Amino acid sequence: MSTTLSTPPGIGREDLARLAEHWDEPRSLRAWFTTVDHKKIGRRYLVTAAFFFVLAGLSALVMRTQLARPESGVLSPQEYNQLFTMHGTAMIFLFATPMLFGFGNFLVPLMIGSRDMAFPRLNAFGYWVFLFAGLFMWASLPFGAAPNNGWFAYAPLNQDQHNPGLHMDVYALGLLFLGISTTSGAINFIVTALKLRAPGMSLNRVPLFVWAIVATAFMVVFALPALNTDNALLFLDRRFDTHFFDPGGGGNVLLWQHLFWIFGHPDVYIIVMPGLGIVSAVLPAFTRRGVVGYPLIVLAIVAISIVSFGVWVHHMFATGLPQLSYSFFSAASTIITIPSGIQIFAWLATMMLGRLVLRAPLLFVIGFIVTFVLGGFTGAMFALTAFDQQVTDSYFVVAHFHYVLLGGALFPILAGIYFWLPKITGRMYHEGLGRWAFWLVFTGMHVTFFPMHLYGLFGMPRRVYTYRSDLGWDVGNLISSIGSYVLALGLLLVLIGVVHAIRRGRPAGPDPWEGDSLEWSAASPPEAYNFPVIPCVHSLHPTWDERTVESTTTGATKDRILSEGKRTLFTSELDARPERAAPMPEPSFKPLVLAGVLLVFFTALLLGAYPVAVAAVLAVAATIAAWLWPPRRPDEEIGIAS
Amino acid sequence: MTDRGGVVAAATGVEALTTEEPVGRPTGWWGMVMFVATEATLFACLLGSYFYLRFQHGPSWPPEGIDKPKLLIPLVMTGVLVPSSLPVVWAEHGIRRGQPWRLRAGLAATLVMGLSFMALLVIEYQDDLQHFTMTTNVYGSLFYVITGFHGLHVSVGLMMIGWLLAASLRGGSFGSHRHERVRNAAIYWHFVDTVWVAILFTIYLSPRL
């Protein structure tokens, strides 16, 4: 908690006291379990996703240790299978998306000038489900029952007769469980961005980061059902002897791949898009100007989120589909590089036209551009069917997608951590530590993954637990393993930097970077109610804009202070005209209870305790019914005709 | 819920009463529409899988040994389910005018029609199960999983309708100023109805083409 602010002009002491009374949550164990504050939930998302990142990263280090030398025996093949599957699955589903959702949770209400998300309790529920689903999946590893089929879990290897045990049941159920969290979070982002923007923030004044989060959320809404269908059918095949992926019963193994990649390719952008949004949010503060080509970037974001649904077959160029479909998807995959390219050139132009302030966040942004462009370059190569068929399932692919994902998600995430740490914690990080971390991460990343292009081209297949020494892959693998330790060291320095900032950092003040978006006009860390006065937005860079600033000080009006009750302002979807002040919910145990009951449900399904699962479903229905039960009000108030 | 800081007082003042009648679309409406959108995509994936597996399967569909689906019961089911949206619409319009009796009567009618649909589904299953089951072949898997998944959605919709009915019978829940929950449940119910038409075409009519 920050110390009490001096009263800004335009808002009285009584108003501040009333806001604090309605919004502040006590510091108690009960409050910890019942909170609906988007900032606390956002922080939890960040910390929990970072924890899963550490687990998935350690899995990768163990694998690199195994692969450092030919025919080494650090891991058995079975252990290796589980580790590489958990590494991929956790990095994609338990780290990248939730981490970016964590940023979104913390930042979207602050950036749009709201006091919370549209559905605060649903937000809390989404976090608990994410936590439980992550623990559900990782808990299988000590039992030797972790998923072992690769993160995309191809049929027929995922079928019971080829892969007995609980491994792929954990995968199917864990991802279905997690999907509840991702979907509810996505819907929450969309509605928040549509209805809760500060007055005056019409669509052409919405920060690029928020555009990116909303586009991501739309992709989640339309892509995740394909993965959920896939996993539900897989579980039915494994447990209840249906035949969806079983050619013996008339099913088809390629159905798995189609559904998986109809989800999977949009998912690449679900991961990368918020990262690109972070870049667009970081750049103005370190180039001292707005991002060049705002409308073009918005159009690029929207175009990518639509076209990404039409390129999935480029993951299946080696499956023997008709030639015509290859041509179509090859063309679509080539087209999607255009909007991505527009964004890259817009950022380069911003840096060229602006005055660079070379601090750690900007270093990571530059690292992002270099790495992501290299990954995009090999990506354009894969769009060509002939080349793809040549290198499919080799380490070249591993190199490509690590360039894209570390470049497109990890570097922006690290930039975001350094950039918003002062806002989240109220403390400044140590710049020297940040720079060291950047150079170690950047060097480690390229030393690890660049050689993979080469030994991939020399024929090393992915997903092998070891290799013979006469194949000429020894040196490359050793270099990669050394690089991975450097990368890990750099990431350790990031962690040390964060802990150091929280413990020893100097107070940051509300706006250490002189940033342009609204979160920099709130306190650091923000008050429970975010803004004493909800601003009236007059431009795309509200914190740089005097009229917007004035609207929260001398120009403050009662309808934007809203100190009577726990309320925030709803505005119209396109033009953000004020509609009404709406009450926001109080803290509640119900989100935690509902997530807990769902955990019981999925665990019961996994262990085959179906009566328990049925009981859990009834408990879920009862909890939701109680959650939404309307409070009883007098007839005049609800409007009953007499 | 306890009344902290005069929330009720704030919501019952003259200003609140004149402005409470939702101005613009409420957040709940958007939330439900997005939820229905993601659910509809789920059904699209299932029905897409049906056609994919069907056309990959070969010429005979349903596979040898299974008759083409009979149409009588499914058509009756359609006749029961699709019109069941009308009482919901009527009920919703009623509560918007502050007439709780219309809400109750409309919901009760829909509840009866929805339950009849579920009863017909059970009868339909009893007949089908004598010929093939979910494990017979991929046709059986698709048939039971898709219709069962839809049946599940109808059940959820019926729970919503029943829940609304219970809340409206208690009184003090809905009126011309407070009907967001009615509207949201209605959207879900219309969705469940509409999807059934797609299922009717896919599961029952398309194998006869």
DSSP per-residue string spanning A258-314: HHHHHHHHHHHHHHHHHHHHHHHHHHHHHHTSPPTTHHHHHHHHHHHHHHGGG-GGG
In a domain, B1, yes or no: no
Using CA atoms, how far apart are residues A100 and A493, in angstroms rounded to an integer?
21
Q: Which of A122, A229, A241 to mutate to test the interface with B (most CBs of B within 10 A)?
A: A229
State whether residue B39 sits within 8 Å of chain A by CB: yes
Q: What share of chain B is helix, strand, coil (3-state, %, to 5)?
A: 75, 0, 25
Instruction: Among A187, A224, A566, select the one facing B35 at the smallest CB separation.
Output: A187
In a domain, B17, yes or no: no
Which chain A residues are closer than 8 Å to B103 by Cβ? none
* Out of A324-333, A411-420, A476-485, B17-26, least confident range: B17-26
- What is the chain A residue with the closest CA to B6? A565
Angle at A460 between CA A454 and CA A466, to 5 degrees: 125
Instruction: Among A119, A583, A634, select the one facing B31 at the smallest CB separation.
Output: A119
In a domain, B22, yes or no: no
Which chain B residues are closer than 8 Å to A632 by Cβ? 170-173
- What is the chain A residue with the closest CA to B1? A631
Condensed to tens digits (0 to 9), the pLDDT of residues A366-406 reads 999 999 999 999 988 988 889 999 999 999 999 999 999 99
Give the number of other CB atoms < 10 A from CB of residue A554.
10
Contact A566 B7 (CB under 8 A): yes
Contact B46 A229 (CB under 8 A): yes
Q: Which of B 47-66 lie inside 8 A of A, CB atoms?
A: 49, 52-53, 56-57, 63
pLDDT for A333 equals 86
Which chain B residues are closer than 8 Å to A636 by Cβ? 12
Check residue A587 and give left, alpha or beta (phi > 0: left; psi -120 to 50: alpha): beta
- What is the chain B residue with the closest CA to A248? B137
In a domain, B47, yes or no: yes
pLDDT for A3 equals 44
Mean pLDDT of A332-343: 91
Using CA atoms, how far apart are residues A410 and A404, in angstroms rounded to an integer?
9
Check residue A25 and give left, alpha or beta (phi > 0: left; psi -120 to 50: alpha): beta
- pLDDT averaged over every residue in chain A: 94
Which chain B residues are closer than 8 Å to A628 by Cβ? 163, 181
Mean pLDDT of A429-435: 96
| pLDDT digits (tens), chain B, 209 positions | 344 445 555 555 544 544 445 678 899 999 999 999 999 999 999 999 999 999 999 888 999 889 999 999 999 999 999 999 999 999 999 999 999 999 999 999 999 999 999 999 999 999 999 999 999 999 999 999 999 999 999 999 999 999 999 999 998 899 998 899 999 999 999 999 999 999 999 999 999 88
Contact B11 A119 (CB under 8 A): no
Q: How many CB pairs (< 8 A) connect A and B?
A: 188
Specify the pairing of strand A567-571 against strand A578-583: antiparallel
Longest dimension (CA), chain B: 71
Q: Is A153 exposed, middle or buried (0-12, 13-18, 19+ CB in 10 A)?
A: buried
Mean pLDDT of A34-51: 97
Mean pLDDT of A622-641: 90
Longest dimension (CA), chain A: 91
Contact A565 B7 (CB under 8 A): yes
Which chain B residues are closer than 8 Å to A613 by Cβ? none
Which of A95, A109, A115 shows the shortest CA–CA distance to A45? A95
- What is the chain A residue with the closest CA to B7? A565
Give the domain CATH number at B49. Answer: 1.20.120.80
In a domain, B144, yes or no: yes
Confidence band (pLDDT; 50, 70, 90) for A345? Answer: very high
Confidence band (pLDDT; 50, 70, 90) for A31? Answer: very high
Helix (H, G, I), strand (E, B) or coil at B137: coil
Task: Determine contact, residues A38/A111, Cβ cutoff 8 Å.
Answer: no
Contact A243 B7 (CB under 8 A): no
pLDDT for A639 equals 85
DSSP state of A151: T
Using CA atoms, how far apart are residues A426 and A501, in angstroms rounded to an integer?
9
Closest-CA distance, B103 to chain A, in angstroms, reads 12
Mean pLDDT of A13-37: 94
Instruction: Among A567, A580, A634, select the one facing B172 at the smallest CB separation.
Output: A634
Angle at A117 between CA B172 and CA A600, to 5 degrees: 75
Helix axes B27-57, A253-287, angle to 10 degrees: 140
Contact B5 A242 (CB under 8 A): no
Contact A222 B11 (CB under 8 A): no
In a domain, B105, yes or no: yes
Using CA atoms, how far apart are residues A230 and A327, in angstroms rounded to an integer?
26
Range of the domain at B138: 33-59+88-208
Condensed to tens digits (0 to 9), the pLDDT of residues A142-175 reads 999 999 999 999 999 999 999 999 999 999 999 9
Which chain A residues are closer than 8 Å to B1 by Cβ? 586, 631
Instruction: Look at chain B and report how many structural domains it folds into.
Output: 1
Q: Which of B 125-184 lie inside 8 A of A, CB atoms?
A: 134-142, 145, 159, 163, 167, 170-178, 181
- pLDDT: is A633 or A8 the higher one? A633
- Residues contacting residue B8 through CB under 8 Å, at least 6 positions apart: none
- What is the chain B residue with the closest CA to A583? B7
Beta pairing partners, A507: A427
DSSP state of A526: P
Mean pLDDT of A274-286: 96
Give the number of other CB atoms < 10 A from CB of residue A22.
23
In a domain, B3, yes or no: no
- What is the chain B residue with the closest CA to A257? B49
Decide if pLDDT at A326 tops 90: no
Which chain A residues are closer than 8 Å to B22 by Cβ? 580
Task: Determine contact, residues A528/A5, Cβ cutoff 8 Å.
Answer: no
Contact B145 A236 (CB under 8 A): yes
Closest-CA distance, B26 to chain A, in angstroms, reads 8
Decide if pLDDT at A481 tops 50: yes
Contact B5 A118 (CB under 8 A): no
Using CA atoms, how far apart are residues A154 and A64, in angstroms rounded to an integer?
24
pLDDT for A1 equals 38
Site of tokens 């489900």 = A129
Using CA atoms, how far apart are residues A518 and A309, in angstroms rounded to an integer?
33
Check residue A126 and give left, alpha or beta (phi > 0: left; psi -120 to 50: alpha): alpha
pTM for the model: 0.94
Closest-CA distance, B144 to chain A, in angstroms, reads 10
Decide if pLDDT at A7 tops 60: no
